[in-house]
């Protein structure tokens, strides 16, 4: 067999399942993986719909995959054909100044499979096979399903933001603004890390119900009540940590408004270049520490795998829809709905 099915994006709003050549290893350290599952990220949706414009055509989206190694190139020593693997979408050189200090997601020679960020974009995992490099592979523990394993990258991003960067501590009172799939993963990480009061804020009652089921102690819908007033009724002293996982600039403004002295706040969800104002003097005297977090790295991926392997977090709980690759257009329609959580593509 020399061809495979792949969802090829040839222009905005123009994606079709086609027969294309199966990728082959061409260089040292390269591997080809037979894709079993791939999460459908909002980044993919934005590229398909033209909301995100930094896309070069044609391209195959999909950057949250798991699968089975089908071919290895020269120099690959830690994986063999038949190994079940989880794939980190962001590849790195390992030698530049950023890689040397552990910030591989800043790599000066980075590439990404099916995603966003670096200029070097490889075809992604809305396909039966995908090529990457050995540095991006992690062994999938047997108890973790391929569908659950496909969500390692988003879970790792949640761990990186909440724990590694914002340094959440046991008994911290935490507010998560926006509880779609990424916000829910942030909430689940905070829950297992020992959050005290854990407040979910969202304009969707569907999302808030999910948050309540997955560990939120309180839910707030800002379309029906004053969010700041309600948060300070629940936490009179104010939150220790606020995570913005929503995306709209209004969520960032609300996060800034919720701060008290010493609050840590993480600009996690917004990726658009919009502005908000801060009172410089107030910010000075609050000593509230702002963080931001994007992407992932091998440390975060390893921690996410451990969270799933030990049963602390079950990522399958946020999966609401699964589609065969041939149903990509149905999956896109579901992605546009508010009545969904994580969508999985099974090539």
Cβ contacts of 301-306, under 8 Å, gap ≥ 24: 301/86, 301/88, 301/138, 301/152, 301/153, 301/156, 302/138, 303/156, 303/159, 303/163, 304/152, 304/153, 304/155, 304/156, 304/158, 304/159, 305/86, 305/138, 305/140, 305/141, 305/144, 305/152
Residues 145, 162: one domain?
Answer: no
Query: Do the Cβ atoms of 153 and 88 come closer than 8 Å?
Result: yes
Q: Residues 154-188: pLDDT tens digits?
A: 999 999 999 999 999 999 999 999 999 999 999 99
pLDDT (0 to 100) of residue 68: 98
Lowest mean pLDDT, pick from 42-51, 133-142, 306-315: 42-51
pLDDT (0 to 100) of residue 272: 84
Q: Any idea what the CATH number is for the domain that residue 240 is in?
A: 3.40.50.720
Per-residue pLDDT at 254 exceeds 90: yes
pLDDT (0 to 100) of residue 72: 98
* 297, part of any domain: no
pLDDT (0 to 100) of residue 283: 94
Per-residue pLDDT at 1 exceeds 80: no
Residues 239, 334: one domain?
Answer: no
DSSP state of 215: T
Which residues are CB-contacts of 234 (< 8 A; sequence separation ≥ 6)? 197, 199, 218
The chain-wide mean pLDDT, for the chain, equals: 97
pLDDT (0 to 100) of residue 303: 98
Q: Please, which pLDDT band fits residue 39 given cuts at 50, 70 and 90?
A: very high
Per-residue pLDDT at 53 exceeds 90: no
Residues 258, 325: one domain?
Answer: no
| Structural domain containing residue 198 | 158-292
Region 104-127: what's the mean pLDDT?
A: 95
Q: At what angle do helices 152-159 and 298-309 cross, to 10 degrees?
A: 110
Region 32-42: what's the mean pLDDT?
A: 97
| Number of domains, the chain | 2
Per-residue pLDDT at 205 exceeds 90: yes
* 40, part of any domain: yes
Q: Residues 119-137: pLDDT tens digits?
A: 999 999 999 999 999 999 9
Lowest mean pLDDT, pick from 45-54, 55-64, 182-191: 45-54
* 301, part of any domain: no
Residues 22, 108: one domain?
Answer: yes
Residues 170, 60: one domain?
Answer: no
* 305, part of any domain: no
Cα distance between residue 158 and residue 151, in whole Å: 11
Report percent pLDDT > 90 for the chain.
97
Cα distance between residue 7 and residue 26, in whole Å: 23
Region 21-44: what's the mean pLDDT?
A: 97
pLDDT (0 to 100) of residue 307: 98
156-183 core/surface letters (b: 16 or more CB in 10 A; e: else): bbbbbbbbbbbebeeebbbbbbbbbbbb
Residues 132, 8: one domain?
Answer: yes
Per-residue pLDDT at 86 exceeds 90: yes
pLDDT (0 to 100) of residue 4: 98
């Amino acid at each position: 067999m020399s061809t495979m099915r792949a969802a090829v994006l040839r222009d905005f709003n123009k994606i079709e399942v086609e027969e294309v050549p199966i990728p082959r290893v061409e260089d040292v350290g390269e591997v080809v993986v037979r894709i079993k599952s791939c999460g459908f990220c909002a980044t993919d949706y934005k590229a398909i719909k033209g909301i995100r414009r930094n896309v070069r055509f044609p391209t195959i989206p999909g950057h949250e995959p798991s699968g089975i190694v089908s071919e290895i190139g020269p120099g690959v020593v830690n994986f063999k054909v038949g190994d079940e693997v989880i794939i980190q979408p962001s590849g790195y050189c390992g030698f530049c100044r950023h890689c040397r200090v552990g910030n591989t997601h800043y790599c000066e020679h980075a590439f990404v499979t099916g995603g966003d960020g670096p200029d070097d974009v490889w075809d992604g995992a809305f396909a039966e096979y995908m090529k990457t490099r050995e540095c991006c592979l992690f062994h999938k523990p047997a108890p973790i399903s391929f569908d659950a394993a496909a969500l390692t990258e988003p879970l790792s991003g949640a761990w990186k933001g909440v724990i590694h960067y914002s340094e959440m501590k046991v008994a911290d009172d935490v507010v998560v603004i926006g509880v779609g799939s990424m916000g829910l993963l942030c909430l689940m990480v905070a829950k297992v890390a020992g959050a005290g009061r854990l407040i979910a804020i969202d304009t969707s009652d569907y999302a808030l119900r999910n948050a309540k089921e997955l560990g939120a102690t309180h839910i707030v819908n800002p379309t029906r009540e004053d969010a700041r007033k309600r948060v300070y009724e629940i936490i009179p002293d104010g939150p220790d940590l606020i995570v913005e996982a929503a995306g709209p600039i209004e969520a960032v403004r609300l996060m800034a408004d919720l701060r008290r002295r010493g609050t840590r706040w993480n600009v996690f969800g917004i990726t658009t270049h919009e502005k908000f104002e801060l009172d410089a003097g107030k910010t000075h005297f609050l000593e509230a520490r702002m963080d931001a977090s994007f992407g992932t790295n091998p440390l975060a991926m390893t921690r996410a795998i451990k969270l799933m392997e030990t049963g602390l977090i079950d990522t399958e709980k946020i999966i609401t829809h699964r589609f065969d690759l041939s149903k990509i257009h149905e999956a896109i329609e579901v992605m546009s709905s508010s009545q969904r959580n994580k969508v999985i593509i099974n090539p």
